[in-house]
Each structure stands twice: as C-alpha cells, then as structure tokens.
Amino acid sequence: MNTTIMTPITPLFPHLPERLAGLEELAENLWWSWNPGARMLFKTLDRQAWKESGHNPDKMLRELSPVLLEKAATDPEYLLRFDAVMEVFHNYMTIEECRLPGSACHGHKCTVIYFSAEYGLHRSLPFYAGGLGFLAGDFIKECSDLCLPLVAVGFMYPDGYFRQQIRDDGWQENFVESINRDAAPVSRVMDTDGKQLVIRVPLTDPPIYVAIWKVDVGRVPLYLMDTDLELNDPWNRSITARLYDGDLEQRLRQEIILGLGGAQMLKILGIKDYILHLNEGHAAFALLERIRATVSEGKEFTQALNEHIEATIFTTHTPVPAGHDVFPFPLIEKYFHSYWPGLGLDRDAFLKLGIHPENPDSGFNMTAFALRLSGHRNAVSKRHAQVSRQMWHSLWPDVPEDQVPIEYVTNGVHVPTWIEPKIMLLLDRYLKAGWMDRHDDPAIWRDIDIIPDAEMWRTHYFLKMKLIDAIRERSRRRWVNGDAGASMMLTGGVFLDPSVLTIGFARRFATYKRALLIFQDLPRLKKILMSRWRPIQIIFAGKAHPADDPGKRLLQNLITLARDPELGGRIAFVEDYGEQLAQYLVHGVDIWLNNPLPPAEACGTSGMKAALNGVPHLSVLDGWWEEGFNGKNGWGVKHEEIPDDPDGIDAGKIYHLLENEIIPLYYTMSENSIPVEWVKLMKESIKSNAAQFSARRMVREYAEKFYFQSISREKNYEKKHF
C-alpha cells in the first residue's frame, strides 16, 4: 500500500486528557466492540452517557464533560484497567504472522480482497439488512483475529437500512435516520494533498465521483465508498444513499460503483496482485477490471480470464430467486457499451457472460456471471450446495449434477462478538485457560459439563431478565414520546414473565421464513400459550423489506394476533430488529425457533448465535441445522409437504414437540428449582455447536479450500511459464 492514507491531524476528542489519549485509538477501531475489557473502559466512564450514545464511543467521547474525563485520568483503578487493555490492543495490532496452521501466506503476497454490499459490524454502523451483512462482518472480524491479510470493500450508506415503526393498525412504517459520519467509527481516507480521497468512476456522463472512508475492524481495513458529494448531480449523489434501492437502474449503478469503483479504488491505494473474494454477486463487476488490465497488455479475453480465474472466489448466498440480481439487457448495454471493447469483446459476447442458460432472455444474471468468471465457487451449507448445484447445473451441462463445481463452506459466527460476557466469565471459570484462543477446537468445550447446573441456570435466568428489561425500556421510550403505537408495544413489554418458557423468533419478514407458521392451528396454540401452570410466551422481531408488501401483510397479521386478548398477552412483537436487539434475544430467550420452507434457508446464522449461549434450537431441518442437529442438542423438524399445502404438517410437528417434549422438560424442576434436564440440553447446545459453527472454523476452511489453493496453483503457473 502506498502512502495516500493519513489520519487527520486535528484531535477528534479535544477534551480527552493526555493520559487517556489511547481511548481515541480504541474508539476508532471496532476491536473494542468484541473485547469486553475495552467495552468496559467506555461504559464505566459514564453508564448513562454510554447508553444514550447507543454504545458508540465516538459519540460519547465527543459529548462527555472534561471534568468527568479528568476524573478518570486520575483514578488509579481506572488507569490500571486502561493500561492493561491498551497493552492487549497494541499486542494484537502488532502480530505479524498469520495464525492459521499451514498458512501459505508466509513470505508470499496474498492479500485477500473481500467485497460485500453490506457489513453488519456494530449498531453504530447500520450498513446491513440481515444475515448476509452479519456474515461479512463476522468474517472480517475473524480474519483480523487470525491475522489473515485481508482488505474489505463496501459502501457507506448514509441512510443505512430503514428503521422500523409499527403503526396503530399494525402496518410497518419505515423511517430513515441518517448517520453522522463524524460521530461514527469511520475516518476519511486522505490523498497526498491532505484532502479526502475521491475517485472518479467513468461509464456515465456525467461521471460519478466517490469519496473513500475507512473503518478499522481490528487489523482489517474496511474501505467504504460514498457518492454523497456535492460534485455529483442529485441522481448520482443518491447512489449509495441506502441499501438495496428498489429502482433497478439505481441498483445497477450501485453495483457498478461497488465493482468497478471498488477495483479502481484498490488500484489508487496501490493494492495489486490480490485474491478476489466476492460475498454474493453484487460486486461481480469487480472481476472485469483485472481482466481488462491484462487485455490492455495485449492478451485475448479468454487468456486474460484464465490468468485471474484461479485467484477468484465467489460465494453464493441464497436459493431464493429474488436474491439474484437480473438486469435487462438494454440497461447493461446503456452502461457497458463503451466498456466491453476494452475487454476485447463485442456486445453479444459480453452479454453472454451473464446469461442463465435455462432462461436466456430474462436478462443479465449477476450470479451466472460471477459463477462463470470465478475459479472457486461455494454455497454456505451442505444442503445449500446441493440446491445450488441443481440450480446452476445448466452452466455445466456436461457433468452430472453432483459434480457441478460448487463446493460449500458452512457459515459460522464470530464467537467473541456473539457470546454474552456473563457466559464468557462463566466459561472462564471452568474451561481450560486460553479456551477463547482455541475456540474452534471442539475438545475445548467439553469441560462445560463440570459447570454446576445452578450456576448455569442462574446466569441464563439473569440474561432472560435482562432481555425483558431491555424490551420494557424500549416500550417506555416509545410511550414517553407520546406515540399511539406504544399501546401495542406495552402488550409485549408488560406481560413478559421471566419464569415462563420463552421462545424467540427474529429475522427478516421474508415470506419463505414463515413467521406465522406457529399460528396455523390457533386453538391448539392457544391452549399451549394459556396453560395455567405451564404456559409459554413468544417474542417476535423483524423487518419486512420496504418493497415487500406480502411480508408487511404477514407482519400486520402478527401484530393483530399479538394484540388479541384471546392469546393471553403471550405474544410480543419488538420493533426495529437490529444488532443490539439480536444480542439481547439470542442471549436471553429459552429456545430459538426457525421454521423456513426448505430448502430456501441457505444457512441461517441467528440460531448459531443462540446455540453458542446455551439457547437450544427448535428448527425445521434446513440450512445449517441439517449439519448441527445431533438428536440431543435441540429439536429438528423434518419438513413434509402434503397435497395442496406447501406448509405441510410442520406446524403440527412443532406443536407435538412443544406439548410432549419441550414444555415438560422445561418445567420439570429439581428440589432447588433448577430444570436439571434442561440445563443439560443447554450445555449440549454449546458443546456441540460452538466450535463447529464458529467464524474461525469457517475462515480456516475458506483459507484451506480456496485462498491457499489459489496461491499454490498460481505459483505453479509461474513455474510453468517463466
């Protein structure tokens, strides 16, 4: 990398005493967010201010009084903790060696460039819509922890993803809360003149200008592109305003910026010779820039493609057709007619790259395009690989379906991000020292069995109360603001009872996820919910995509049900599902429910987050749960269709499990009021899933299957040719 990156000279937090200058370093690197010691440094400065800042140190340090900061700077206890955290942080940032065994990175240039349209990193950066974003966020955090040389590329969305508020009639309303770039952990990337780096993306007239920002995610730099510049005309200016614009042309323009603009930015930053990893097809145009450079050196397209294909990895994330972008040919022509000659291609040859053979007239399919131009392709679970091979068989018509070259790497979650700090402390007491450093080793988790049941249960119960408190606090704030909708919120908040078996269901309101399945047989559900001695309660959360009216109707039906006194106040809906609420939910409910319509769930990750915290999974067998379910770590429901009803008898099976296994197990207490058998299940849930579905296991697999392979094969290539 060359020297165009400089940090601004003016101090970000003028009131910060010299002795605590390190807090600025910490605040500007998201490392703090997955290290409890660092988090506590901010929180203990002023708990109220911490809460009000939305756990955003950038915001908090700007607003704290100098007196308070001075006090901390002279408090020996605080300084002791501060110095310890700073030492850990500095050591972390200076490790040089990749920590993966057998790493091919040593002494060989192997920067991985990771492209993703969304990143779920922390509540202060709302650049995500759902699972894809969290996968990307967890992925780059883990690469940082493993010292894998990686640079991430994405978008600065000043409007983020929409916030959700439910109207009195149950309809979802969307509102936008623009982020203040100066009070978020992002910094400007500066050019050699000391101004923010701005690149120019051609292809359009007028050209599009893109400003570059950076988020430090531990050791990984995440570069974000931003078109919200006065230099741009209004249409260009709004390209990166929000995630997944409904307008098709604007969406194509987003993908041009992400792919072509991203590749150009890398060139300006001096990043060359990289392995390109596309997280979903949105950034697939990035594949073209390397090829174009090689073609300009006098090679033919195919030759140029073959030179780069080995260092290209494409990860597909969904079997749902709407998840694959298809652009009408005239739109592609409009933007690319001046581009394809540079690739040595004519119109037809270019458009052919994006054709789905089964549906050649439908348009330019970004997934087909990415599959063709990548040397390594993968799905995100074993089941999803089977489905993807079937979906894309027509691209490889000469091989049998099971040999279609799409492998799989099952997703995982970043353990330090998703494990609850109290659970972490509990494990610190009973697992071997240094367990967190070896958390992808299943053997390290076996000692969970020696945790006393009472201690395990007490910890969980505390987290359940914390969840309920958090929901009530949200209702209170809504009520204070005088919102009529608060009556609905109160229903959930007030009636939630920590002693009741609590089911959590939170995810996007996409129809295939079947949020309302459990209401299929209302009288039967009613009986379960309203049982006098052994009731259950269900907490729902999730947003419907702004353009998804069927999803919104589903949500409205759910709100109506939640408000119906006939269901006893046992159904709660919490607005505005996001990272913070997800944390409370996956830590605090008793069961995590998932009932998608197979095989639409490519993987699913929220269930992994829950399982890691001892919250067993009750799920239809689909996605990761086909690999995770072992018969004793939760419940697996095998989907069965019946004529004329795609939902089949899944709901019946869930009721049956609740009535005959789950509820009796939960409410059978020992003399000291501990549900001993349930605690055993909780332990099994952690023990069997934590290592296997960790982001560390996932990143290791990507490195072994793809990154290291492309390095060694490239080396062979060099040997052969030079």
Ligand X SMILES: *Cc1c(COP(=O)(O)O)cnc(C)c1O
CB 380, min distance to ligand X, A: 10
Stretch that binds ligand X, among 79-87, 173-181, 400-408, 571-579 (CB under 6 A): 571-579
Which residue in 5, 104, 243, 582 binds ligand X (CB under 6 A)?
582
Q: Which is nearer to ligand X, 226 or 626 (CB)?
A: 626
Cβ distance to ligand X smaller for residue 582 or 615: 582
What angle, 0 to 180 degrees and rounded to 10, lies between the N-to-C axes of helices 76-94 and 66-73?
80
Site for ligand X in 500-559 (CB under 6 A): 507
Q: Which residue from 130, 319, 412, 616 is in contact with ligand X, where contact means CB under 6 A?
A: 130
606: contact with ligand X by CB under 6 A: yes
Report how far residue 563's alpha carbon sits from residue 489's, in angstroms, rounded to the nearest whole number. Answer: 9
Q: Is the dihedral of CA 418, 474, 529, 643 positive or negative?
A: negative
CA dihedral for 353, 359, 365, 371, sign (positive or negative)? negative
Identity of the residue, 319 or 607, whose beta carbon is nearer to ligand X in the bound complex: 607
**Residue partners of 239: CB distance under 8 A and separation at least 6:** 208, 227, 250, 253, 254, 257
Give least dist CB 23 to ligand X, A. 27
Single-letter residue type at 463: L
The CB-of-582 to ligand X minimum distance in angstroms stands at 3
Q: How many residues bind ligand X (CB under 6 A)?
A: 13
* Contact flag: residue 605 with ligand X (CB under 6 A): yes
The candidate with the shortest Cα–Cα distance to 150, out of 140, 158, 159, is 140
> Rule CB under 6 A: is residue 596 a binding residue for ligand X?
no
> Least CB distance from residue 339 to ligand X, whole Å?
35
Q: Does 604 bind ligand X (CB under 6 A)?
A: yes
Kindly tell me which of 204 and 580 has the beta carbon lying closer to ligand X.
580
Q: Are 632 and 653 in contact (CB under 8 A)?
A: no
Q: Which residues pair with 211 in a beta bridge?
A: 198, 226
221 binds ligand X (CB under 6 A): no
CA 263 to chain centre: 23
Stretch that binds ligand X, among 246-254, 465-473, 575-583, 666-674 (CB under 6 A): 575-583
Q: How far is the CB of 605 from ligand X (least distance, A)?
A: 4
Q: Choose the stretch contacting ligand X; rule: CB under 6 A; options: 186-194, 493-501, 519-527, 599-607.
A: 599-607
Q: How far is the CB of 378 from ligand X (least distance, A)?
A: 17
Measured in degrees and rounded to the nearest 5, phi and psi for residue 330 equal: -60, -35
Min separation Cβ 654 and ligand X, Å: 17
Contacts of 642 (CB under 8 A, 6+ apart): 648, 649
Q: Which is nearer to ligand X, 439 or 587 (CB)?
A: 587
Q: Which of helix, strand or coil describes residue 35?
A: coil
Q: How far apart are CA 577 and CA 586, in angstroms?
A: 12
Q: Are 135 and 278 contacting, i.e. CB atoms less than 8 angstroms apart?
A: no
- From the list 65-73, 77-85, 314-322, 601-609, the region that binds ligand X by CB under 6 A is 601-609
What are the DSSP E strand ranges found in 332-388? 364-365, 376-379
Q: Which of 704, 552, 694, 605 is nearest to 133 (CA)?
A: 605
- Calculated CA dihedral for residues 17, 19, 22, 27, nearest 10 degrees: -30
Please state whether the peptide bond connecting residue 206 to the residue before it is cis, i.e. omega within 30 degrees of 0.
yes
Question: Could you tell me the two tokens for 368?
Answer: 């087909």
- Binding residue (CB under 6 A) for ligand X from 89, 134, 336, 693: 134
Nearer to ligand X, 622 or 714 (CB): 622
Stretch that binds ligand X, among 129-137, 172-180, 260-268, 375-383 (CB under 6 A): 129-137
| Rounded distance between C-alpha atoms, residue 121 and residue 417, angstroms | 9
* Cβ nearer to ligand X, comparing 238 with 605: 605
Task: Using alpha carbons, select from 516, 497, 507 the residue that is nearest to residue 525.
Answer: 516
CB of 555 to ligand X, least distance (A): 15
Helix (H, G, I), strand (E, B) or coil at 275: strand
Report the C-alpha gap between 332 and 75 in whole angstroms. 62
Place of tokens 């300006």: 268
- Minimum distance between the CB of residue 352 and ligand X, rounded to whole angstroms? 34
Name which position in 160, 218, 578, 616 contacts ligand X (CB under 6 A).
578
Minimum separation from the CB atom of position 544 to ligand X (A): 13
What's the min distance (Å) between Cβ of 598 and ligand X? Answer: 14
Which is closer to ligand X, CB of 139 or CB of 708? 139
Min. distance of Cβ 694 from ligand X in angstroms?
14
Residue 643: is the preceding peptide bond cis (ω within 30°)?
no
Instruction: Give whichever of 431 and 574 is closer to ligand X, judged by the CB atom.
Output: 574
- Contact pattern for ligand X over residues 365 through 394, marking x by CB under 6 A: ------------------------------
Question: Quick check: 24 and 61 in contact, CB under 8 A?
Answer: yes
Instruction: Report the alpha-carbon distance of residue 179 to residue 242 in Å, rounded.
Output: 11
Stretch that binds ligand X, among 449-457, 577-585, 656-664, 703-711 (CB under 6 A): 577-585
- Least distance from ligand X to the Cβ atom of residue 11, Å: 34
Binding site for ligand X (CB under 6 A): 130-131, 134, 507, 577-579, 582, 604-607, 609
